[in-house]
């Protein structure tokens, strides 16, 4: 049986998980692809650092170049994370013509265009299935499985930490701060948790998926991002009474079914924000640390990908998938795959969030006196924003009471202008709370 040699940089949670997975199922993979992937070197920070799975001492080195530049190593796996050293490692391997496997979504989000250009220049492939949603094969599905589809919409629960926190807030009626502190104690959330709870990790991932879905590179600076810090137990409670669950969604959608506009351009909304999801929709039932991506293609229709989005074993599964592809490419001398990010029908652009259209949930705290509702409705009407329902929940009698509005589809910019005016009314206390509503129509 033919053999290819693997050099790996990173021996922490993911790296040791890959070593364990190769030890456990390497022979199974070899029997399926007809190539044995032999691990020859693992570059680590320290030989004796704690790790979930042991790595044989003879395989380890503290010099990453030993795992990249050795002429006997044919495939390189970058599993160190970050955007500085990792970038140098990947570029070094690609310049040597070696295929690279990475799980580094932050690096791909920040420098993907440069990395894929380098891969093309040096005739090497860059594999990145593990960069989004752990063991869920969403990258390969978008890149290959849906190659004959226009992707009209993609909705992703792609951050397990946020989904864990929101699930517990809903089921327990707990506040964000309390659940976050508990999640940190249990290891579900980092300290500090900003990357996750402020939506940046989800933005890294949704940007990669958006680029794949629409063929043009999405600049991370163009992605509109909101996190979950401002979600209260009260908002989750009211949303539930209206038949909705609040989820942090990464959203990629067009408003023309994915087809290019007549002038040759096309635009897609690429955003991350808390969203009211109908309880009848499958994404509402994705709980705790699980991930899910809901994709609508113009030919295939609706599809769902569900599973664990992080962790040593789920990520290792995706890395092994990429290693198998890289090994097969070497076996058959193939350097060509479906290009990752190529404008396929038009020059693309990310739609400004002000122009994106959705429905809305708005919660106000208002002084309980006659005429207040009329003033608020007038402001919405002046900006051509329709009100689908108004609810004043019972049991909140007093000087001020909550007032809930469900709004018809309208541009984000118009709604934000309306809320700014409403927030300045003397009868409105505090800042208006607004969440977008997605009914998947």
Strand runs labelled E in 44-119:
60-61, 75-78, 100-102
Q: Report the alpha-carbon angle 131-218-101, nearest 5.
A: 25
User: For residue range 218-234, what is the model confidence (pLDDT) as tens digits?
Assistant: 999 999 999 999 999 99
Task: Indicate if the pLDDT at residue 261 is higher than 60.
Answer: no
Q: Which residue has the tokens 């609508």?
A: 296
User: For residue range 323-343, what is the model confidence (pLDDT) as tens digits?
Assistant: 999 999 999 998 888 877 665
Q: What is the mean pLDDT of residues 103-122?
A: 94
Instruction: Give every CB contact of residue 405 below 8 A, 6+ residues apart in sequence.
Output: 360, 361, 362, 363, 364, 376, 380, 387, 389, 390, 391
pLDDT at 262: 46
Q: What is the mean pLDDT of residues 136-151?
A: 94
Q: Which residue has the tokens 């329709």?
A: 386
pLDDT at 349: 86
Task: Find the helix packing angle between 372-382 and 412-423, rounded to 10°.
Answer: 150
Gap between the Cα atoms of 111 and 108, Å rounded = 5
Cα–Cα nearest to 60, from 80, 41, 78: 41
User: For residue range 383-403, what is the model confidence (pLDDT) as tens digits?
Assistant: 999 999 999 887 666 678 999
All domains of the chain in start order, with CATH: 2-135+312-332 (3.40.50.720), 139-308 (3.30.360.10), 354-437 (3.30.70.260)
User: For residue range 356-385, what is the model confidence (pLDDT) as tens digits?
Assistant: 999 999 999 999 889 999 999 999 999 999
Task: Indicate if the pLDDT at residue 164 is higher than 80.
Answer: yes
The percent of residues in the chain predicted with pLDDT above 90, rounded, is: 85
Expressed in angstroms, the distance from the first to the final Cα of the chain is: 51
Show the tokens assigned to 4: 């290819």
Cα–Cα nearest to 143, from 213, 204, 202, 207: 213
pLDDT at 260: 52
What 57-64 contacts at long range (C-beta under 8 Å, 24+ apart), as own/partner pairs, is 59/19, 60/11, 64/9, 64/89
Q: Taking the model in full, what pTM does it have?
A: 0.94
Task: Indicate if the pLDDT at residue 257 is higher than 70.
Answer: no
Q: Please classify residue 17 by burial: count the beta carbons closer than 10 Å to its beta carbon, then call 0-12 exposed, 13-18 middle and 19+ buried.
A: buried
Catalytic residues: 205
């Amino acid at each position: 049986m033919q053999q290819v040699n693997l050099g790996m940089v990173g021996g922490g949670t993911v790296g040791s998980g890959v070593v364990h997975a190769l030890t456990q199922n390497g022979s199974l993979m070899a029997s399926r692809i007809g190539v044995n992937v032999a691990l020859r070197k693992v570059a680590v920070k320290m030989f004796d650092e704690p790790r979930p799975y042991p790595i044989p001492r003879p395989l380890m080195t503290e010099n990453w170049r030993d795992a990249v530049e050795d002429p006997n190593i044919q495939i390189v796996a970058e599993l160190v994370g970050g955007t500085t050293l990792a970038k140098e490692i990947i570029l070094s391997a690609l310049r040597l013509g070696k295929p690279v496997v990475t799980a580094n979504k932050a690096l791909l989000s920040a420098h993907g265009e440069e990395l894929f250009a380098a891969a093309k220049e040096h005739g090497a492939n860059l594999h990145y299935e593990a960069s989004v949603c752990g063991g869920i094969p969403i990258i390969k599905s978008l890149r290959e499985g849906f190659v004959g589809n226009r992707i009209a919409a993609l909705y992703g629960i792609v951050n397990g930490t946020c989904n864990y926190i929101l699930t517990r807030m809903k089921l327990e009626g707990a506040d964000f701060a309390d659940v976050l502190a508990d999640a940190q104690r249990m290891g579900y959330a980092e300290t500090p948790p900003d990357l996750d709870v402020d939506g940046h990790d989800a933005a890294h991932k949704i940007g990669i998926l958006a680029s794949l879905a629409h063929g043009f590179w999405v600049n991370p600076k163009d992605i509109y991002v909101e996190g979950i810090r401002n979600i209260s137990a009260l908002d989750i409670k009211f949303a539930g009474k209206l038949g909705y669950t609040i989820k942090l969604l990464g959203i990629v959608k067009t408003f023309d079914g994915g087809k290019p506009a007549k002038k040759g351009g096309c635009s897609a909304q690429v955003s991350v924000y808390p969203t009211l999801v109908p309880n009848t929709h499958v994404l509402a039932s994705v709980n705790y640390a699980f991930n899910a991506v809901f994709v609508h293609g113009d030919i295939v229709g609706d599809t769902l990908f569900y599973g664990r989005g992080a962790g040593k074993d789920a990520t290792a599964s995706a890395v092994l998938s990429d290693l198998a592809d890289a090994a097969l490419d070497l076996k058959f001398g193939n350097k060509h795959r479906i290009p990752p990010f190529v404008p396929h029908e038009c020059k693309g652009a990310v739609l400004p969030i002000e122009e994106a259209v959705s429905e809305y949930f708005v919660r106000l705290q208002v002084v309980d006196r006659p005429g207040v509702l009329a003033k608020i409705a007038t402001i919405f009407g002046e900006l051509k924003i329709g009100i689908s329902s108004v609810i004043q929940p019972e049991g909140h009698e007093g000087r001020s009471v909550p007032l809930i509005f469900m709004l018809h589809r309208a541009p984000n910019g118009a709604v934000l202008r309306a809320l700014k005016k409403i927030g300045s009314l003397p009868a409105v206390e505090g800042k208006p709370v607004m969440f977008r509503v997605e009914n998947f129509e």
